[in-house]
Structure 1
Amino acid sequence: MRFQHSPQIWSDHPSLAAGAVSATGITADASVTDQVARFHAIAKERLSASPESEFPEIQAWRRTFSQLGLKPTQYRCASESLLRRFRKEGTLPEIHPLIDLCNAISMAYAIPVAALDVARIDATLEVRYAAGDESYETFGGEIENPAPGEVTFVDASGRSHARRWTNRQSGLSAVRASTASVLIVAEALHDTAATDVAALTATLATELAAAWPTTPRTAILTATDRTFDF
């Protein structure tokens, strides 16, 4: 398996920082309650000082979405959506221990984190601009075609696994009870993104190893070292 961003993405978004984690041995019966609570507390403390819309991590994504022709308040990055819901409701629903953990870490760092079931991805996964002929499966089972120029995650079969740069993850490769192997991707564009993504990636690896019998592999991707083989 290989994960990468296209050269054009790196060229058009030079401030991009990206980290990737792969792990096997994932099960749906792990307990992550204490870990999730710890990261929720970090997010809650930060939200007590200012709303998520004022976080530099979120503002950088809003600027990028605007550059891509998307309305930032209509299409929010995944971490903003999580933080916004968490601020309003004070909690998040439990979905799957891996998703719950990734969401909590995403909120603590205010950086989008995408978790994908590797078994549902064909050979490679590239973050690139859509041609318009890719197929994307919604959580309801409908098939859509990303608009030409939209940033999407595409595998070797031309299937799109996330729309609008992780704003909408595919129902095809979403983590579920049967998921055993995962690819987790974190991306950021703010001034300290490189440092923060490296820290988040290391945190993910540590927390995964604490919750499951796994030894995660990690990578920090750059324009000159843009592939992660796992």
Structure 2
Amino acid sequence: MQFCHSREIWSDYAELVPGVLFAEGITHDALVEPRTFRFNAIAESRLASSSEGELPEVQAWRRTFSKMGLKPTQYRCASESLLRRFKKEKSLPHIHPIIDLCNAISLAFAIPIAVFDASKIEGSLEVRYAAGTELYSTFSGTLENPEPREVIFADQANRAHARRWTNRQSAHSAISNDTHAVLIVAEALHATADTDVRRLVATAADELHAVWALSAKTGILSLSSPVFSF
């Protein structure tokens, strides 16, 4: 199996820096709360001096959403949405240990992180422009078709695992108590994205090892090295 971005995406967003992890051995009963507190504290410190919309990581995604023809304050990247909720509620709801951990890391870095159940992906997963015929599963149980030219995560079964790039993940590959293997994708476009995504990936890999005693396969993608095999 492989993860990649289309040549069109790289052409239109040359500043993109994707970081990817694949891990097997995830369980639903791990304790991660003490570890998430540290990342929450980092986010709280950053939000004390800047609003989420002022963070360079979020500003870069707002510019990207505008470039895609979306209103940045109507469709927000995943990390901005998490930061807004965290600022209001001072915490995030418990979902699943791997989601809770990745959400906390996303808060600290202000970088969107997507977590997919790898067993639900058919063949390769590509970030590309939609044809409009792909199927997207909502969490309410309905099926949607993305808009043509919308940026999606699509597999070889023509299923969209995320819509509007970092805005909406699909219910089809959402993490559940039965999830064993995960594909984790972090993407950034701000000026220090290369350094920050590398730190994020290293941090996530360390946390996965500490919690589940597993070694994740990791990669940093670029136009010259655009494919992650897992």
TM-score over 0.5 for the alignment? yes
The aligned counterpart of 2:97 is: 97
Q: Does 1:88 align with 2:88?
A: yes
The aligned counterpart of 2:140 is: 140
Q: Could you tell me how far 1:213 is from its partner in structure 2?
A: 2.8
**TM alignment of 1:90-129, pairs within 5 A:** 90-129=90-129
Which amino acid is the alignment partner of residue 85 of structure 2? R
Which amino acid is the alignment partner of residue 107 of structure 2? M
Which amino acid is the alignment partner of residue 205 of structure 1? A
Q: Distance in 1 between matches of 2:95 and 2:61?
A: 25
> Which ranges of 4 or more aligned residues in structure 1 deviate by more than 6 Å?
none
**TM alignment of 1:76-225, pairs within 5 A:** 76-225=76-225
Q: Distance in 2 between matches of 1:79 and 1:45?
A: 16
Q: Deviations over 1:16-57 (max 9, x none)?
A: 000000000000000011110010000000000111000000
Which amino acid is the alignment partner of residue 119 of structure 2? A
Q: Distance in 1 between matches of 2:196 and 2:42?
A: 15
In structure 1, list runs of 5 or more residues that go unmatched: none
Q: Distance in 2 between matches of 1:174 and 1:202?
A: 23
SS at match of 2:213: coil
The aligned counterpart of 1:63 is: 63
Q: Distance in 2 between matches of 1:117 and 1:77?
A: 20
Q: Could you tell me how far 1:166 is from its partner in structure 2?
A: 2.1
Q: Could you tell me how far 1:102 is from its partner in structure 2?
A: 0.2
SS at match of 1:133: coil
Q: Distance in 1 between matches of 2:117 and 2:166?
A: 15
Which amino acid is the alignment partner of residue 69 of structure 1? G
Number of residues of Structure 1 aligned to a counterpart in Structure 2 = 230
Q: Distance in 1 between matches of 2:54 and 2:109?
A: 14
Q: Distance in 1 between matches of 2:30 and 2:108?
A: 21
Q: Distance in 1 between matches of 2:225 and 2:62?
A: 26
Q: Deviations over 1:53-104 (max 9, x none)?
A: 0000000000010010000001000000000000011111111000000000
**TM-score normalised to structure 2 length:** 0.99
Q: Deviations over 1:159-211 (max 9, x none)?
A: 00000002000000011110000000000000001110111011110001111
What percent of counterpart residues are identical? 60
In structure 2, list runs of 5 or more residues that go unmatched: none
Q: Distance in 1 between matches of 2:209 and 2:155?
A: 27
Which amino acid is the alignment partner of residue 22 of structure 1? F
Q: Distance in 1 between matches of 2:224 and 2:8?
A: 12
Q: Could you tell me how far 1:140 is from its partner in structure 2?
A: 1.2
